[in-house]
């Protein structure tokens, strides 16, 4: 996708020899879906911005919030709105998940590494309002990726989410974030900017290699 910088070549980083190539998969609200291996090289990164999907999710949250402010019982209306929007978004998420699975076929024996949820997951319905930015969307995206990986017989592991995902994947300095891009503050680091989601995906892949 244009506009998102890929992780810079990182020959020094370590992906211990194993049976799999660990590919970190990040899902978020700024970048819908991003992936990268532990040792990124040009062309190994993957990112989907999916602004149109995020806009639909955001408008769903706004509509739901408005319905909840009405003085009458709006739960039936909320369910209809949610069902209608989900009907539109769901096939798009699975299309993006298909594109991700196509992308990871370039690796030897790929294994997807996703973040383990910190808390008991809420259902999509329970988390549909959230902070107005459709926080249920990353959860739904993860589910789409997991389902497609299962169908493609690509193994999936879940690891504890790296605590400092906005540290530069190359030098470890904590970057600054703007418009889904992470800028490395270290002038001597070859990373100028990297997609935030792809940077987080590199951290996930490395954690997957260690666990």
Residue closer to Zn ion by CB (options 191, 209) is 191
Task: Determine, following the binding rule CB under 5 A, whether residue 135 of this chain makes contact with Zn ion.
Answer: no
Q: Where are the alpha helices (DSSP H) in the chain?
A: 51-68, 75-104, 136-151, 196-210
Q: Which stretch binds Zn ion (CB under 5 A): 22-30, 129-137, 146-154, 178-186?
A: 178-186
Whether the CB-CB separation of 26 and 200 falls below 8 Å is answered with yes
Strand partners, 114: 25, 158
Residue closer to Zn ion by CB (options 81, 204) is 204
Q: How far is CA 205 from CA 10, 76, 104, 188, in A?
A: 13, 42, 13, 24
Give me 144's structure tokens: 């789409």
Of 191, 194, 205, 209, the residue at the interface with Zn ion (CB under 5 A) is: 191
Of 67, 101, 112, 168, the residue at the interface with Zn ion (CB under 5 A) is: 168
Strand partners, 21: 110
Q: How far is CA 90 from CA 87, 137, 140, 162, 178, in A?
A: 6, 10, 8, 28, 28
Of 170, 196, 206, 207, the residue at the interface with Zn ion (CB under 5 A) is: 170
Residue closer to Zn ion by CB (options 64, 199) is 199
d(C-alpha 102, C-alpha 28), whole Å: 20
β-pairing verdict for 156-159 and 176-178: unpaired
Residue closer to Zn ion by CB (options 38, 154) is 38
Nearest to 170, CA basis, from 204, 202, 130, 134 = 202
Q: Work out how close the CB of 166 gets to Zn ion at its nearest, in angstroms, rounded to a whole number.
A: 11
Q: Work out how close the CB of 170 gets to Zn ion at its nearest, in angstroms, rounded to a whole number.
A: 5
Q: Which stretch binds Zn ion (CB under 5 A): 78-86, 122-130, 151-159, 168-176?
A: 168-176
Task: Determine, following the binding rule CB under 5 A, whether residue 184 of this chain makes contact with Zn ion.
Answer: yes
Q: Which stretch binds Zn ion (CB under 5 A): 8-16, 27-35, 117-125, 167-175?
A: 167-175
Judged by the rule CB under 5 A, the positions of this chain that interact with Zn ion are 168, 170-171, 184, 186, 189, 191
């Amino acid at each position: 996708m244009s506009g998102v910088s890929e992780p810079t070549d990182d020959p020094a980083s370590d992906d211990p020899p194993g049976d799999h190539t660990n590919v970190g998969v990040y899902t978020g609200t700024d970048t819908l879906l991003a992936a990268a291996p532990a040792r990124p090289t040009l062309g190994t990164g993957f990112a989907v911005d999916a602004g149109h999907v995020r806009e639909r999710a955001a408008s769903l949250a706004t509509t739901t919030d408005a319905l909840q402010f009405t003085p009458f019982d709006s739960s039936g209306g909320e369910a209809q709105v949610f069902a209608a929007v989900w009907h539109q978004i769901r096939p798009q998420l699975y299309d993006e998940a298909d594109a991700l699975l196509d992308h990871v076929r370039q690796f030897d024996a790929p294994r997807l590494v996703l973040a383990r949820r910190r808390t008991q997951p809420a259902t999509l319905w329970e988390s549909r309002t959230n902070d107005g930015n459709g926080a249920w969307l990353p959860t739904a995206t993860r589910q789409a990726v997991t389902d497609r990986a299962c169908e493609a017989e690509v193994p999936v592991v879940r690891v504890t989410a790296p605590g400092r995902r906005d540290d530069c994947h190359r030098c470890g300095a904590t970057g600054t974030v703007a418009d889904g891009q992470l800028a490395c503050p270290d002038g001597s680091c070859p990373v100028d900017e990297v997609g935030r989601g792809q940077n987080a995906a590199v951290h996930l892949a490395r954690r997957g290699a260690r666990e």
